Every structure is written in structure tokens, then in C-alpha cells.
Amino acid sequence: MISIVVTAYNIERYLSRCIDSIILHVKCDYEVILVDDGSTDNSARICDEYAGRYDNIRVIHQDNRGVSVARNRGIEEAKGEWLWFVDGDDYIENDVDIDEEKADKDMMVMGCVWEEANRCVQVCAEATCVPYNTWRCLFRRERVVEKGVRFAEGRRYAEDQEFVISYMLATGCYGQLGVIAESIYHYTVREGSAVTQKGRKLVMMRDIWAVWCKTIWEALRRGELLAPWVMNELKRMAKTILVTAVR
């Protein structure tokens, strides 16, 4: 079973589309955990309506504490074999199932469509990739719990990247990912989302720097600092910090 954790904060325009797409396209056993992060619009009511109509949909209401806290709450409540973190303003656009070939993997990555400024780009999935976005991935729940991997609370940027790298270091699953080649997830960059907010430069640099330092520490602790994929990620993060600084 897949535990699909959907976080929602003031996204009443998009939330029903997201939940309906899950109901339509997820073809294996699943549960949906809707985490309403203190919404002040109709998002909370929409969550309650779906939870009332479907036995496999639950809702959690909490004060507004950010997406990381909401996702961590979803991890605590999940009962499935797999964890999938879905943003409530995105949607699933193709059928998804887990076949026996991928059942022994610790992590799976899927293709996606990235939509920004009315342009769509398809992003392929590879067994040797390091996806920066948790919504592209399925994580084995027992491994997340066993290794104590959680989203960093208070982080506004790069929390997905941090979670993925921490999980891959903890489980040693780099290069052994199950691949779902189809473009399953449709990610939309919308005005007002975290990635489009102005005045984010210093906060972004701070958060990526924190992830860079944590990655070095965790890689050192696990004897993986010189692993090529770790070095590549450290270089990518350093480049992002420098590019952000000179903009």
C-alpha cells in the first residue's frame, strides 16, 4: 500500500483537482493523508468533504507550521509500505502502480512534467539520478522510520533535497532506484508559491548552505564523502549558492 501525504495551505482552487487525480490514477492499494496546515480559505472544508466520502482518505488539521511539519506529521500517521509526498496544488496525470520488479527497492523515482510560465518540460527518471524533489519519489516507509529521516522543520527551501540526500545516504540506495518511466506527476510553479516569492535570496542561500553542511557531515559519518554522486551533489549546491549570490 502507498501512503500518499498531501499537504494543503490555502489552495482551494487546486486541491480538488489534486485529490481527484489521485483517485483516478493510483491503481494499487493506497491511502491518502490530507494535512491541512492551518488554511484560512476553504481548503480545510474540502479536505473534510473528501475524508467523509472515502474510507481510505483521512484528514489532519494543524496550526500553520510549514510544509516540513505537515509532511512529518504525515509520516507519523502513515500505515503503508511506501510513502509519497504530493503537493496539493499539483496533480497526477498518468496511471501509477507498483509491479513486482520494483517491490524490492528502497526507493523509486518517476518521470514528471514541470510546468512554469505556461511552458511544460518532461523530466525523465533514471536509476542513477538524485532527484531533488520528494514528489517524484516513493520511499519505503519502514526505512524512513528505521533511519529517522525527517524533513527539516523551519526550512523554507531545499527541504526536499535534504530529505532525498539523507535518505539515500542512510539506505545506500544510490544507483539502485526503481524507475517508473512514465510522466506520472505534474508539477506546477504558480505565482505565490515558495519558489516564486520575492525577497527569497538570503533565505535560499542560508537554507542551501545548511543542507550543504549537513550533507558533508552525514557523508563523513557514513564514509561516503568521496563517493562521486555525493561530490556531484555538493558541487551542484555550491554552484547554486554562488549563482544566487551574484543575481
Total of domains in the chain: 1
Helical packing angle, 43-53 and 15-25, nearest 10°: 30
Report the alpha-carbon distance of residue 205 to residue 167 in Å, rounded.
22
So what's the pLDDT on residue 191? 66
So what's the pLDDT on residue 192? 56
List, for residues 199-210, the tens digit of each pLDDT value: 688 898 999 999
Cell of 164: 532525498
Give the number of other CB atoms < 10 A from CB of residue 32: 25
Give the number of other CB atoms < 10 A from CB of residue 119: 8
State the CATH number of the domain containing residue 110.
3.90.550.10
Per the DSSP assignment, residues forming a β-bridge with 37 are: 62
CA 39 to chain centre: 20
pLDDT of residue 193 exceeding 80, the answer is no
Give the number of other CB atoms < 10 A from CB of residue 213: 11
Of the listed ranges 43-52, 66-75, 204-213, the least confidently predicted one is: 204-213
Q: What is the pTM of this model?
A: 0.92
pLDDT band at 245 (very low <50, low <70, confident <90, very high): confident
So what's the pLDDT on residue 80? 95
Range of 242's domain? Answer: 2-246
pLDDT of residue 102 exceeding 80, the answer is no
pLDDT band at 127 (very low <50, low <70, confident <90, very high): confident
